[in-house]
Structure 1
Amino acid sequence: MPSFAVIGASRGIGLELVRQLSASPTNTVVVTVRNKEKSTYLNDLVRRSENNNVHVVEADVVDQHAMDHAAAEVTKITGGALDVLVHNAARTEGENTIKGFLDYETPEKLDEEFIASFKVNVLGVVHTVNAFLPLLRKGTAKKIIVIGSEGGDCSLVWRIRLANAAAYGTTKAAENMVATKYAAELESEDFTVASVSPGIVDVSKTAAESGFYVPSEELMPTVNKIMNGILAAFPKATTITPEESCRRLVSFIDSAGPADSGIFHPSAEYID
């Protein structure tokens, strides 16, 4: 029975990934979220699941001890092994997501956002992999999939001339490097470690309960400039649904092997 751990799945891409993975009764799917009680979309999915194969564990990726505890809980659920780890947790904090280096009101606010983003987008992956690695070593698939972003790919960012999204892009670039480092570390053990883009996904239907961030009228020119830059460089770029994104992700997870390790895999819209 294949076992999956999806890190960060209370809504959006992670939520849909859990839905698709759990559709197979032969799969065991363990999900981690920061706050189990507030994960209303996920809780509803679990209640409606006919296969009863989704298990929810509370843990925050910025806390190594919490992730170690989550791995211990997964051990009880899966019998001590794990086949696939999918790290989906990421920080996208309102208008900070589109700010460039020169857009912060004070150096302190810049520091605050960069440090918070680094803790989630970079150290969060490290904490997760370190905690779950003993289980993955006992699994059969030995796959670690990091949900990355074109925002962290230097060549794509330069082609778009994307100066915005500085904290997000910088830390997602570092996240790609983390995946590459683990790929090098675990190559001799026949692991597959890869970073893959989900594409530009409309996740508004399962937005945070506090409300989906909508850019202010003042920021809309910046948002439009970013989107126009993407479209100019990549005419095939388009917004896709979580369902389509996760169909692609599940296909990648199923087919990926050691030859796919160590590199970032962009979404199809960004491949010439």
Structure 2
Amino acid sequence: MPSYAVIGASRGIALELVRQLAASPDNVVFAVVRNIATSTHLTAFVTESKRNNVHVLQADVVDHVALKAAATRAAEITGGSLDVLIHSAARMEYTTMFKTLTDYEDDEKLEEDFLEYFKVNTLGVTHSINAFLPLLRQGTTKKIVVISSIAGERNIAWDLRIDVMAAYSASKAATHMVLTKYAVLLESEGFTVVSLFPGMVDISATAVGPLSADLLTDIGSLLEKFKKADPNVDLTPLSLENGTRSLLEAIHSFGPADTGAVRSAEGHTVARVVVDA
């Protein structure tokens, strides 16, 4: 039975990944969340669907002890293995999301924000992979996929002249380097390590709350940069169901030849590590 661990499964794309993976009774799905008590959308799905192939595990990505405990519990259920790890947890603090490097009230606020983003978005990925790596090494697929963002791509920031999202983008860029290191480290073991961009997906159904007018303005300004760079680009969000289905199709298609790649859900290679022999 194929086994999957989805990190950050309380809402949004990760929750929909759990739903779609659980639709096949052959799959074993571990939904890892920071706090089970507040994961109301996930709890409702598990209760209403009566799926017995979904196992909810509690672990914050900044807590490596809790993540290892979650991995131990998963190992007890699968017999010690895991086929696919999908990491979709991230910090997106909307009060600071669109700040530039000079927008902070003072240097202490800047440092605090950067460290929090790095702790969740970069170290969180590292802790998650390290915790489940022993299980993945015993799996048949050996696949690690991190749902990421083009905000971490240097060429996007420069070509479109995007100065906002400074802390968030820096943490995502660091995450891409972390994944490159894992790709190199695990290549000889037949692993597939990929960073995957979901594109525009409507996640409003399970959002914490409505977006503020200021945030909508900031998002609109950012999208205008994309339209200016490519007037033909389609920025219409995909439905959560369809967008997630595209992600799963991409995840299933990845193999060792893709390791080290940064890809979009449409299959485009955004970046790739090349190791000379």
TM norm structure 2: 0.92
Task: Please list every run of at least 4 consecutive aligned residues from structure 1 whose deviation after the TM superposition is greater than 4 angstroms.
Answer: 269-272
> CA separation in 2, counterparts of 1:101 and 1:35?
32
- Of 130-139 and 230-239, more deviation after overlay is shown by 230-239
> CA separation in 1, counterparts of 2:12 and 2:4?
18
Cα offset, 1:26, TM superposition: 0.3
What is the DSSP-based 3-state SS (H/G/I as helix, E as strand, rest coil) of the residue aligned with 1:86?
A: strand
Q: 1:240 aligns with which of 238, 241, 251?
A: 238
Matched, 1:120 2:130: no
2:84·2:142 contact (CA, 8 Å) conserved in 1?
A: yes
Letter in 2 for 1:77: I
Q: Deviations over 1:192-233 (max 9, x none)?
A: 00000011222111012xx24x2344x554332211002222
What corresponds to 1:196 in structure 2? 196
What corresponds to 2:273 in structure 1? none
Q: Deviations over 1:64-102 (max 9, x none)?
A: 111111111111121110000001000001131111111
Cα offset, 1:106, TM superposition: 1.4
> CA separation in 1, counterparts of 2:198 and 2:62?
22
**Correspondence 1:157-172 to 2 at 5 A:** 157-172=157-172
- Structure with bigger RCO (C-alpha 8 Å, 6+ apart): 1
Give aligned pairs, total: 268
What corresponds to 1:225 in structure 2? 221
- Identical pairs, percent: 50
What is the DSSP-based 3-state SS (H/G/I as helix, E as strand, rest coil) of the residue aligned with 1:163?
A: coil
Cα offset, 1:245, TM superposition: 1.7
> CA separation in 1, counterparts of 2:163 and 2:45?
38
2:176·2:195 contact (CA, 8 Å) conserved in 1?
A: yes
Q: Structure 2: give runs of 5+ residues left out of the alignment.
A: 271-277
Q: Deviations over 1:25-50 (max 9, x none)?
A: 10000011111011000001111224
Cα offset, 1:51, TM superposition: 3.5
1:12·1:203 contact (CA, 8 Å) conserved in 2?
A: yes
> CA separation in 2, counterparts of 1:74 and 1:224?
42
Letter in 2 for 1:266: S
Cα offset, 1:238, TM superposition: 2.9
What corresponds to 1:184 in structure 2? 184
What corresponds to 1:86 in structure 2? 86
> CA separation in 2, counterparts of 1:28 and 1:205?
25
What is the DSSP-based 3-state SS (H/G/I as helix, E as strand, rest coil) of the residue aligned with 1:201?
A: coil
